[in-house]
Structure 1
Amino acid sequence: MNLECIPLKKIKWQPYQPDLSVSLHDCNIWLMNVDAYTPTLSNFEHLLTVEEQQKAAKYTKISDQIRFKLGRVMLRILLARFLHTPPYKVPIVIGAFQKPELNHPYKEKLHFNISHSNSRIVIAISAFPVGIDIEYISFQNHLEEMFQIVLNSEEAAFVGRAPSVSEAFYLLWTRKEALLKALGTGLIDDLSKVPSLDGRHSANLDNLSEMQADQCLISTIRHNYLLSTCYAKGISKIVFWDY
């Protein structure tokens, strides 16, 4: 599997309006500020299924419940636009490795992925497989303990000499997560085998040698968030939307 990791330094985020043209030949990424939509959540909770309501209730923290509900509401509204169906009828099911996906016959026609961290939710939608991950950059004492589990020696050296260890670590971590989410495998036993440094790579991952992920992109988002997106060959471009 061939992979290219590219850092994106200048991103144009466009305000999203439902009447704007959105192409599935692109990889469309929507970013939501949870705090901005929390006051109006009650207006949209009817869009959630009983199963989604039950899953939200399992979270101990109210903030986690709200974030899960908003993520699903946002996802349903966006997918409904492409499927030409009411949001509450969007057939979201849980596939392998607990990854949300569309049910047949839409599964092969429309791909999406969702991630959240702290007060941000991101969703990627495209006609091709896509994976996305977002992380809030915060200093944590235990990061170095994760190096041996997550990073190979070259990646650990890169993080060790970086001006910000936290930012460098989350850069690589989100790339690994985005790639695995695009391939639909879930986390693997040895994350150090998943390439994440800038440049071109040939990844020899178990049972994935015939799969391809064309590029992995990274950007620093407002308020100390790192976002990585992995998308398959065939996507024209990446379009960033502020929801």
Structure 2
Amino acid sequence: MSVLLGGADEERLDVWLLRLPKHDQIAHLIDRSELDDRERRRGASFLRPRDAVLYTSAHIALRRILGDCLSIHPSDVRFVREPCPGCGEPHGRPAVATPDPPLHFSLSHGGGMVLVAVASSTVGVDVEQTPRPDTVEMCTPSLHPDERTELAAIQPAERREAFGRIWTRKEAYLKGLGTGLSREPSLDYLGADKDSRPVGWSVLDLPAGPRHSAAAAVRADIAAPAAVHRLPVNVLFDGAAVHAEAVNPGDSALLEPAA
């Protein structure tokens, strides 16, 4: 399922979501042969098996998606780092090490969910499990003042979900900038008022099921992803191809695992 990105006058964003089952159900089935040595070492360094499976799964899915988009084998995808926007050193956004790459990408994983975006312009994505009340209380003071005002006006029972939406938009935008959280989260407004968000960026909420929030930030005028795809877990197994099911953005329950 190749993604053909538009030309200079046609902006496009495609998104893939992968919901993992329990780690012990798939750890022995995952095909790690397409990862490079650095990815294998990193995957083996996690103390908790579920973290190792999540990291490894995310990078296998990323390689298979990018390989499909670029019409190359997943193991042949090579990555570089763009210059840091702060110091100019090569530790900024990850990029494909292909001459004049025809695409931009971003990867996020958290709470058993993997999110990959491919776009024709600079992109950042984030997916997070809905935070606990104590996390919301601890992190809210670091938000933009107008975001804090919005949260204060929301009923406590709804605050966790509202905070999750703000935070994933913020992390997606900061990843798009290439700064990550080295830039103060209080500097940029990513709340509910779309007209007050950073100029030149489209910041989109993505469907991620009832227990997660997800967002994409694209440096382009994009009203919605061209497609949101649900990846089957067998994309991680030996010889699997990237065959994904399209998700209706209004039907996020499709992203939950089968009972």
* Contact 2:93-2:176 at 8 Å conserved across structures: no
Q: 1:147 to 1:236 in 2, by over 3 A?
A: closer
Displacement of 1:190 after TM fit?
2.1
Q: 1:189 to 1:126 in 2, by over 3 A?
A: closer
Following superposition of structure 1 onto structure 2, how do residues 68-147 of structure 1 map, counting pairs within 5 Å?
68-95=55-82, 96=84, 97=91, 99-107=93-101, 109-147=102-140
What CA distance in whole angstroms lies between the structure 1 residues aligned with 2:223 and 2:207?
Answer: 22
1:23 aligns with 2:17: no
SS of the aligned residue for 2:180 comes to coil
1:39 aligns with 2:22: no
Give structure 2 stretches of 5+ with no counterpart. 7-11, 85-90, 232-259
Which amino acid is 2:153 matched to?
Answer: R
1:201 aligns with 2:196: yes
| Deviation digits for residues 76-108 of structure 1 (CA, Å, limit 9, x no counterpart) | 11101121111101112344446432114154x
Question: 1:190 is matched with which residue?
Answer: 184
Normalised to the residue count of structure 1, the TM-score between the two structures is 0.79
| Deviation digits for residues 94-133 of structure 1 (CA, Å, limit 9, x no counterpart) | 44446432114154x2110011111110000112111111
Question: 2:239 is matched with which residue?
Answer: none
What CA distance in whole angstroms lies between the structure 2 residues aligned with 1:202 and 1:30?
Answer: 24
Normalised to the residue count of structure 2, the TM-score between the two structures is 0.74
Q: 1:61 to 1:183 in 2, by over 3 A?
A: same
Question: 1:212 is matched with which residue?
Answer: 200
SS of the aligned residue for 1:48 comes to coil
Displacement of 1:199 after TM fit?
2.0
Question: 2:43 is matched with which residue?
Answer: 56
* Contact 2:79-2:94 at 8 Å conserved across structures: yes
Q: 1:98 to 1:58 in 2, by over 3 A?
A: farther
1:65 aligns with 2:52: yes
Question: 1:15 is matched with which residue?
Answer: none
SS of the aligned residue for 2:3 comes to coil
The count of corresponding residues between Structure 1 and Structure 2 is 214
Q: 1:160 to 1:237 in 2, by over 3 A?
A: closer
Q: CA RMSD of the aligned region, Å?
A: 2.3
Give structure 1 stretches of 5+ with no counterpart. 1-17, 204-210
What CA distance in whole angstroms lies between the structure 2 residues aligned with 1:103 and 1:56?
Answer: 22
* Contact 1:27-1:236 at 8 Å conserved across structures: no
Q: 1:234 to 1:146 in 2, by over 3 A?
A: closer
SS of the aligned residue for 2:58 comes to helix
Displacement of 1:148 after TM fit?
1.8
Identical positions, percent? 24
* Contact 1:33-1:119 at 8 Å conserved across structures: yes
Question: 1:157 is matched with which residue?
Answer: 149
Which amino acid is 1:105 matched to?
Answer: P
Which amino acid is 2:229 matched to?
Answer: W
* Contact 2:92-2:178 at 8 Å conserved across structures: no
Question: 1:241 is matched with which residue?
Answer: 229
